[in-house]
């Protein structure tokens, strides 16, 4: 069947929604596009056939024992259709830096590169008074403006920051120091230690960062200034497959 210009534009919009919001069902996409589920499935079938999208079966607790939800997500090929600035040049430069100065030199470059991002985002977060989870909401907006398509949400143990796009994913796949430096920046901006659970650079669909919530004051009456907080456990639903596998 011949593809029209309108079909191409709609499929680009589907891809953009998957990039911005992460894995979604056909009904969710149809609602966002204001088209029928049947129409969006036709476009999804075309994107599946070209390798730009893949289907995943996702178990959702609120669905009970029924069939897993069918969700669609961008493949590496689908992501590559979006701009990746100067990947080849960046890889060449960092390989040279690594050969000359080792991993620490690469880390120093990553930290220097992210200093500007941290400064710009700190302006958005500075006016937010509240818990780290609240600051993450402001940070998500600032990161979205920087091209990360970020969102933040509250969960039972605190919150999570999701980045649905990574402008340097191809480079970070070879040089994890970029992800490590970015995680440190997020922690400083939200004001607490955070844990990176998944990254696009390592093959996950979304970069996910867990943000611990406020410590609960129970029977422990030790003054806050004299107490050392233990790391809060990460909820099972947000752990990576490696973390869920028993040793």
Residue 102, pLDDT score: 93
On the question of pLDDT at 239 being above 70, the answer is no
- Residue 232: which pLDDT band, with cuts at 50, 70 and 90? very low
On the question of pLDDT at 247 being above 50, the answer is no
Residue 215 and residue 160 in contact, taking contact as beta carbons nearer than 8 Å: no
Write the DSSP assignment of 88-105 as a string of letters.
Answer: HHHHHHHHHHHHHH-HHH
**What is the arithmetic mean of pLDDT over 230-243?**
45
Domains and CATH numbers, the chain: 5-80 (1.10.10.10), 87-244 (3.90.1520)
d(CA 16, CA 175): 26
Residue 105, pLDDT score: 95
On the question of pLDDT at 237 being above 50, the answer is no
- Residue 241: which pLDDT band, with cuts at 50, 70 and 90? very low
Strands (E), 115-191: 150-155, 158-163
Give pairs for 52-61: CB < 8 Å, separation 24+: 52/11, 52/15, 52/77, 52/78, 52/81, 53/14, 53/15, 53/18, 53/78, 56/23, 58/23, 61/237
On the question of pLDDT at 220 being above 70, the answer is no
Higher pLDDT, 81 or 35: 35
**What is the arithmetic mean of pLDDT over 78-102?**
80
Give tens-digit pLDDT for 30-66: 998 888 989 999 999 999 988 889 988 765 555 555 5
- Residue 224: which pLDDT band, with cuts at 50, 70 and 90? very low
Residue 65 and residue 74 in contact, taking contact as beta carbons nearer than 8 Å: no
Residue 235, pLDDT score: 47
**Nearest one of 188, 172, 169, 200 to 118, comparing CA atoms:** 188
């Amino acid at each position: 069947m011949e593809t029209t210009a309108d079909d191409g534009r709609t499929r680009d919009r589907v891809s953009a929604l998957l990039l911005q919001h992460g894995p979604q069902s056909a009904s969710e996409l149809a609602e966002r596009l204001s088209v029928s589920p049947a129409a969006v499935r036709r476009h999804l079938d075309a994107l599946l056939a070209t390798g730009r999208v893949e289907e995943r079966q996702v178990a959702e607790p609120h669905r009970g024992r029924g069939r897993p939800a069918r969700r669609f997500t961008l493949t590496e090929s689908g992501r590559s259709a979006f701009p990746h600035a100067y990947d080849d040049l960046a890889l060449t430069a960092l390989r040279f830096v690594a050969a000359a100065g080792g991993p620490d030199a690469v880390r120093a470059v990553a930290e220097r590169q992210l200093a500007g991002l941290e400064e710009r985002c700190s302006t958005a977060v500075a006016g937010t008074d509240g818990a780290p989870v609240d600051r993450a909401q402001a940070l998500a907006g600032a990161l979205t403006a920087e091209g990360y398509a970020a969102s933040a949400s509250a969960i039972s143990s605190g919150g999570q920051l999701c980045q649905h796009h990574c402008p340097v994913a191809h480079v970070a796949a070879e040089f994890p120091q970029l992800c490590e430096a970015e995680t440190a920046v997020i922690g400083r901006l939200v004001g607490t230690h955070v844990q990176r659970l998944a990254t696009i650079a390592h093959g996950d669909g979304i970069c996910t960062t867990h943000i611990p919530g406020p410590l609960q004051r129970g029977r422990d009456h030790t003054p806050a200034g004299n107490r050392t907080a233990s790391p809060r456990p990460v909820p099972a639903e947000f752990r990576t497959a490696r973390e869920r596998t028993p040793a």
